[in-house]
Amino acid sequence: MRISASLSCAVLALATLTAVSAQTKPSAAAKSKPVVHTKAPILAATPPMGWNSWNYFAGKVDDKGVRAAADQIVATGMKDAGYTFVNIDDTWEGERDASGVLHTNDKFPDMKALADYVHSKGLKIGIYSGPGPKTCAGFEGSLGHEAQDAQLYASWGIDYLKYDLCSFGRAVMQAQAPNDKAEQMRMMYSAYKKMGDALKATGRPIVYSFCQYGMDAVWEWGPSAGGNLWRTTGDVQANWGSIYNIINQQAGLAKYAGPGHWNDPDMLEVGNGTKDNQGRVRLLSLPENRTHFSMWAMLAAPLLAGNDLPNMKPEITAILTNKDVIAIDQDRLGKQATHIYSDGEVDVWARHLTGGAMAVAVLNAGPDKYSTHPFHLSLAKLGLHGPQAGKDLWTGKDVTLTDNMPVELASHDILLVRIASPK
Ligand code: GLA
């Protein structure tokens, strides 16, 4: 992978050199005209926000459901809070015709009309494919049709592509380089780059989301393959164990995130649950939903809601539309939180924000911590000195953090504080 990455750096360096030497001899025309540099806006300058069909609907997603999700994003205030993308995940794909053009299946009678509908709401639309012959759910993948598919997406008006490794691993990497892990990784890099180049060639700005579960330290090479975000882990599930495990796997990744390129700890499960042995759905508790959402914001993660929007409870809408928490996620500096320290089952994370501000999260992964045995916050470990005036982003109230102060937290709950002028 490093070979490919450094190769593309070399190409970039060569292009820069050519541009510099061209600039050293300005033509007469160039001398008389002032050169105006217009910078193209960065794609995904802040982490993408929206909704994705997979976590709740999986294979049941259809045209009607996607329209309903778009309607609800507007009606619930999510659009005003910043949610933009309406992303169709796996199971929309039909068959290819004799010319190789991919068609939708019966669930999606007219993708262009659906895209127009989503756009008419002032929203954007995303789609899903993968570099292998088949997607994870066994539908048609893009192998051998990358440019054709990219053009198709652009012709529909697609704004976002999630590209999922799935069958490429077995059908291509393992089949063609069975005992050569390094070669397999090069093949994976090339496959992602190929679609990245195909998307660029359409001329349409399409956010490019890698889904290969963090293999081969994707954060190191994702940007050079054209990625705007990349999954850092396996699939999230709507239970505390999965969410907390994913949070812990993000430690050490902060330096790889920034405007245009983000670590993706997977889509949100806020409002969702998992079935227990008896088939009963165990929903995430409110503290768990708050902690999940807060930590994704701290991690500068994409905020892609994954719940049933038409049947969303008010308390879930309130979590997903907490503008103070969203502002942490969308902070333009794009500095992902780092893990500062843990004391027993309590973890402290912090991130720097624009204007010198700071966000601090204190997360209780264990049982309740009330006045009999509260957690004590060390400001020194956060590099802070003396009382810090801040805002508790879940109560909306002003708070002052002091050194060694007791913090009472329910099990799996979080204290999230924004300090405007940390000292
Ligand atoms: C993989 C991805 C999921 C989802 C499914 C669809 O498991 O990680 O996010 O896209 O495929 O089949």
Q: What is the pLDDT of residues 393-408, one digit of tens each?
A: 999 999 999 999 999 9
pLDDT at residue 40, rounded to an integer: 79
Mean pLDDT along residues 79-96: 99
Q: Which two tokens stand for residue 217?
A: 């330290």
* Burial of 66: CB neighbours in 10 Å, binned 0-12, 13-18, 19+: buried
Reduced to 3 states (helix: H, G, I; strand: E, B; else coil), residue 317 is helix
Q: Say whether pLDDT at 258 is over 80.
A: yes
Q: Say whether pLDDT at 10 is over 70.
A: no
The Cα–Cα gap between 164 and 232 comes to 13
* Burial of 277: CB neighbours in 10 Å, binned 0-12, 13-18, 19+: exposed
Residue 294: pLDDT band by 50, 70, 90 thresholds? very high
The Cα–Cα gap between 219 and 254 comes to 10
Specify the ligand 1 atom closest to the Cα of 231: 8
**Ligand 1 proximity of 136 Cβ (cutoff 6 Å):** yes
Q: In what order do the strands lie in the sheet with 262-264?
A: 262-264, 229-231, 207-211, 160-164, 124-129, 85-87, 49-52, 303-305
What are the pLDDT digits (tens) for 91-140? Answer: 999 999 999 999 999 999 999 999 999 999 999 999 999 999 999 999 99
pLDDT at residue 22, rounded to an integer: 34
Q: Say whether pLDDT at 243 is over 90.
A: yes
Nearest to 121 by CA among 90, 84, 165, 88: 84
Q: Say whether pLDDT at 241 is over 60.
A: yes
**Ligand 1 proximity of 90 Cβ (cutoff 6 Å):** yes
Instruction: Tell which one of 235, 236, 267 to mutate to probe ligand 1, the residue whose CB is within 8 A of the most ligand atoms.
Output: 235
Instruction: Tell which one of 164, 264, 304 to mutate to probe ligand 1, the residue whose CB is within 8 A of the most ligand atoms.
Output: 164
